[in-house]
Each structure stands twice: as structure tokens, then as C-alpha cells.
Amino acid sequence: MIRNVLTYFILLIFLVACSGSIDTSKLTPEEYFKYAMELYNKEDYQQAAIEFQNILMQFPGSTVNDDAQYYLGMTYFNEEQYLLAAYEFSKLIQNYATSPFVPDAQFMLAESYYKLSPPYQLDQSYTKKAIEEFQAFIDIFPSNPKVEEAERKIKELNDKLARKEYQSALIYEKMEYDKAAMKYYDYVVETYHDTKYAPLALYNKIKIEVRKGMINEALADINLFLSRYPNDDNANEIRNLEIELINKHNELTTEKK
């Protein structure tokens, strides 16, 4: 008896659930998209993704296709499936070039790679891809309100790349591989000159040059440091070091004569 009652209630729940479903085969593209958006707004992203995909397959050339394509990308993004999101946003950009969703799709394409950017110790392919896509967004849509955010995130990502190279230089220096360390410090200085790691890298390189008796090289880098970073915390120390090295250079020149 109890089993029959339970079976009845389970069947009843199933029938009620089914009665609330929608026969999407009878919907126009606009009605279907509205239904899919209701699912999206309820955060039923998995089902919404299925419906957006169905719209794209069933109604090729429809006026709501770019809308469906954009929100398909957004469903994956909200589900933290960032590679799939990036793929769908890139499809919108390629297939619906005149869509009003293109600026947002370009930003979200970059944002997807931004979310995939790992800690600085790991491979930074996604970080570089995010920078590339954010820069494309800025170049193509310079008056967009999100440009400032894109610029801020590019700076953040460049700082991460610079930190990775700077830490590599520090490791080589600790291992007393000075040539390799200076090479990495140079790379940071020239490639990431507008990050906080550039003056640190140049400062450390100067210290190595002084330690190795490379006076002319150290003086050249000191001149570069003071011209680029005159207000850096280490600037006064570098100025005093410059005076010391010039005096030492003059003494050596006098001795040779």
C-alpha cells in the first residue's frame, strides 16, 4: 500500500513537471529566444545553453541569431567554462560582424582568457592571449566605456608576466649564473618597462655589473635608470653609486696615463 502511494505521488510530480514544459517546435524564433532568456535569467544555464544552440540550428539567418550566439557564450562564461565561452564569443565576432553585440563579445572574449590566466609561476599562454584580445578591444572600440577596465587588466596581466621573468632572474642570480640573470633583467626592463618590476630589474642588474667590475656597463645602465625612474625609491642610492663609479673610473684613467 505504502509503495503504491509513493509510486502515485512520484507519477503525479512527473506529470506536473511535464505539464509545465513548452513545445518549442511551435515557437517563432523571437518567442523561442524569449523562452531561452527566461531560463538564462533564472540562472538555469545548462538548459539555456541547449535552447540557444537549438535556436542557432533551427533558425539560420534569424534576426535573433546573434543574440542567441552572444548569450550562448555568456551561459558558458557563467558556468566557468571559459574556453567554451571564448569559442562562442569568437564565433559571434567572425559570423556576425555587424551585430551590436560585437563590442561586448570582444570584451568577453578577452575576459574569458583573463579568467583562464593562472598564477605567475605557471605557463602564461592564456595571459598573453587575454592581453592580445583586450588590446584588440581597445584598438577597435576606443570610445567604449569598458576601455578603462581593459587597460587596467592589461596592466595587471603585464605585471604578472614581468613578475615571472623577474623571479627567473632572481633564481639565476642566487645560483650565481650572472650572465643569465642579467639577460632576464634586461628582458624585464625592455619588455615590461612600465611595470614595477622594471626598475627593480635594472637596479639588480647594475648591482651585478658593479660586483663584476663592469664599470662602463654599470654607468650606462645607471644613466638609463635615472632617465627612466628619477623618482624611484632606489634613485638616490643609484645617484651616489654613479658618483662613486665616475671617481673610480677617473682614478683608473689617471693611473693608466
* CATH H-level, domain 27-96: superfamily: Tetratricopeptide repeat domain (1.25.40.10)
Assign 3-class secondary structure to the chain. Answer: CHHHHHHHHHHHHHHHHHHCCCCHHHCCHHHHHHHHHHHHHCCCHHHHHHHHHHHHHHCCCCCCHHHHHHHHHHHHHHCCCHHHHHHHHHHHHHHCCCCCCHHHHHHHHHHHHHHHCCCCCCCCHHHHHHHHHHHHHHHHCCCCCCHHHHHHHHHHHHHHHHHHHHHHHHHHHHCCCHHHHHHHHHHHHHHCCCCCHHHHHHHHHHHHHHHCCCHHHHHHHHHHHHHHCCCCCCHHHHHHHHHHHHHHHHHHHHHHC
CA distance 245 to 101: 60
Reference 112, options 79, 149, 83; nearest CA is 83
Read off the pLDDT band of 18 (50, 70, 90). Answer: very low
Per-residue pLDDT, 73? 98
* Residues above pLDDT 70, as percent of the chain: 89
Residue for grid cell 642588474:
205
CA pair distance 196, 34, nearest whole angstrom? 49
Q: What is the mean pLDDT of residues 184-190?
A: 98
How high is the pLDDT of residue 140?
Answer: 98
- pLDDT of 26 reads 86
100 pLDDT above the threshold of 70 = yes
Domain ranges of the chain: 27-96
What would the pLDDT profile of 103-126 be if each residue is shown by its tens digit? 999 999 999 999 999 999 999 999
Identify whether the C-beta of residue 132 lies closer than 8 Å to the C-beta of residue 145.
no
pLDDT at residue number 13: 34
pTM over 0.75: yes
Task: State phi, psi for 112 to the nearest 5 degrees.
Answer: -65, -45
Question: Would you say residue 14 has pLDDT above 70?
Answer: no
Question: In which band, very low, low, confident or very high, does the pLDDT at 88 lie, cut at 50, 70 and 90?
Answer: very high
